[in-house]
Amino acid sequence: MHFKFKKAAKNKLIINVLVLGIAVAFIFPYFFMVTSAFKSRLDTFAYPPIFLFFKPTFENFISIFRDIHILFYMKNSFIVATGSTLISILIAIPATYSLARYRFRYREKIAFGFFLLQTTPGISIVFSLFFIAKRLDLVDTYIVLIISYLLWNVPFAIWMLRGFVESIPVQLEEAAMVDGCTRFQAFILVTLPLMAGGLTVVAIIVFIFTWNEFAIALFLTSIKQGQCQQQLLSL
- Are 219 and 148 contacting, i.e. CB atoms less than 8 angstroms apart? no
DSSP run (H or E) holding 8: helix 2-37
What is the per-residue pLDDT across 39-92, written as a single tens digit (0 to 9) for each? 888 777 777 877 777 888 888 888 888 887 788 888 989 999 999 999 999 999
What is the per-residue pLDDT across 112-168, written as a single tens digit (0 to 9) for each? 888 888 787 877 888 888 888 888 888 888 899 999 999 889 999 998 888 888 888
Confidence of residue 204 (pLDDT cuts 50, 70, 90): very high
State the Cα–Cα distance between residues 58 and 139, nearest whole angstrom.
Answer: 36
What's the pLDDT at 167? 87
Go through the domains of the chain in sequence order and give each one's CATH number. Answer: 2-65 (no CATH), 69-233 (1.10.3720.10)
State the Cα–Cα distance between residues 43 and 51, nearest whole angstrom.
Answer: 9
Confidence of residue 228 (pLDDT cuts 50, 70, 90): very low
State the Cα–Cα distance between residues 204 and 198, nearest whole angstrom.
Answer: 10
What's the pLDDT at 5? 58
Higher pLDDT: 207 or 167? It is 207
The pTM of the full predicted model, rounded to 2 decimals, is: 0.76
List for the chain the helix, strand, coil content (%; round to 5): 75, 0, 25
Dihedral angle sign, alpha carbons of residues 120, 126, 131, 133: positive
Distances, alpha carbon 116 to alpha carbons 49, 152, 159, 229, in Å: 43, 10, 10, 29
Collapsed DSSP state (helix, strand, coil) of residue 30: helix
Confidence of residue 3 (pLDDT cuts 50, 70, 90): low
Mean pLDDT of 3-29: 80
DSSP run (H or E) holding 76: helix 70-101
